[in-house]
With several copies, the nearest count.
Chain A
Amino acid sequence: IGEIQRFLRDDGTVKVSRSVKETARHIRRARDELAKRLGRQPHINELAEELGMDPAEVVFTQDAMRAPASIHETVFE
């Protein structure tokens, strides 16, 4: 998480699309680790807590910059 914060703080000109892409990767990793540790699907609050993020922000970052074309991919990911 420190890494994400450093990334976000570094440069006032970082585009949201780029930062979201980076953070989304951290979220995916945290979700997988949490699922493994808990032995079940994590709840959004658990994941948010793990990441030190607001749950709604986690939702935003997972999805906000996704192109409409990839709608069907979300089903099978």
Chain B
Amino acid sequence: MSATRNVMRLEFSSRSENESFARVAVAAFVAQLDPTVEELTEIKTAVSEAVTNAIIHGYGDREGMVSITCTLEGDVVEIMIDDQGVGIEDIELARQPMYTSRPDLERSGMGFTIMENFVDKVEITSRPRQGTRVRLVKRLKSRTTSEH
């Protein structure tokens, strides 16, 4: 791997069938940096939560496109998950552990909390009726350690 930026962008229909594909596509891109199994699992889990949110909350019964932009630069992974769905009225509230606007779907309200635990930075930008962007940043601590 060279040290310069490597970028990929992914766009797909907001269907739950596409969740595992999206998670694996991001994993295959990040795998170039040879993270630990644990780091890759953390990234996949965080991406899954954000993608599920875009599909379930952003679009709900409608079908739209979800996009993921992933940038690798040195040992830092940046992932943005975008939807053009309903957006979030109150971002502070949405971030609260256990808060969910859809208890009817048996959501746990732990999605953002999980993301915060598994990556270094979680930024949410959203506008009601315009859509939501979740930006995840993670530094791979393992990268400098040697093979064994």
Contacts and interface: CB of A to CB of B under 8 A. Distances in A.
Interface of A: 8, 12-20, 31, 41-47, 54-60, 63-68, 71-72, 74-75
Interface in B15-34: 16-17, 19-21, 23-24, 27-28, 31-32, 34
B37 A19 contact: yes
Interface residues of B, number: 31
Contacts of B108: 72
Contacts of A18: 147
A44 B34 contact: yes
B36 A56 contact: no
Contacts of A58: 31
Interface string B1-45: 000000000000000110111011001100110111111110011
In terms of DSSP, what is the predominant structure of the interface of chain B?
A: helix
A44 B24 contact: no
B76 to A, nearest CB: 17
A74 B24 CA distance: 13
Nearest to B114: A75
B105 to A, nearest CB: 12
Contact of A64 (B24, B45, B142, B147): B24
A16 B52 CA distance: 24
Interface of B: 16-17, 19-21, 23-24, 27-28, 31-32, 34-41, 44-45, 48-49, 52, 108, 114, 142, 145-148
11 contacts: A13-B38, A15-B34, A17-B31, A41-B39, A43-B37, A45-B34, A46-B146, A56-B28, A63-B44, A67-B20, A72-B108
A71 B37 contact: no
Nearest to B28: A56
Contacts of B48: 71, 74
B61 to A, nearest CB: 16
